[in-house]
Amino acid sequence: MGYTNAGKSSMLNAVTDAGVEVEDRLFVTLDPRTRQKQLPGGETVLFTDTVGFISNLPHELVEAFMSTLKSVQLADLLVHVVDGSSDHAEEQIAAVRDVLIEIGADEVPELLVFNKADVPGSRAKDLAKLYEGSVWVSAKTGENVEAMVAVIGERLRSRDRILTLQLPLDRGDLLAAAHREGDVIDTSVNEEGVLIHVVLDSVGAARFRQWRVPA
Ligand X SMILES: Nc1nc2c(ncn2[C@@H]2O[C@H](COP(=O)(O)OP(=O)(O)O)[C@@H](O)[C@H]2O)c(=O)[nH]1
Among residue numbers 8 through 27, which ones bind Mg ion (CB under 5 A)? 8-9
Collect all residues with Cβ–Cβ distance below 8 Å to 93 and sequence separation of at least 6: 3, 80, 82, 112
CA nearest neighbour of 155 among 41, 68, 70, 53? 41
Sheet holding 193-200, edge to edge: 183-190, 193-200, 161-167, 212-213
Among 24, 63, 132, 173, binds ligand X (CB under 6 A): 24
Smallest distance from Mg ion to CB 26, Å: 9
| Nearer to ligand X (CB atom), residue 142 or residue 172 | 142
Q: Does 32 bind ligand X (CB under 6 A)?
A: no
CB atoms within 10 A of CB 70: 14
Select from 5-13, 38-46, 54-62, 105-113 the region that touches ligand X (CB under 6 A): 5-13
Query: Does 29 engage in binding with Mg ion (CB under 5 A)?
Result: yes
H-helix or E-strand spanning residue 47: strand 44-48
The minimum distance between CB 130 and ligand X, in angstroms, equals 19
Q: Which positions lie near ligand X, rule CB under 6 A?
A: 2, 4-10, 22-24, 28-29, 52, 115-116, 118-119, 138-140
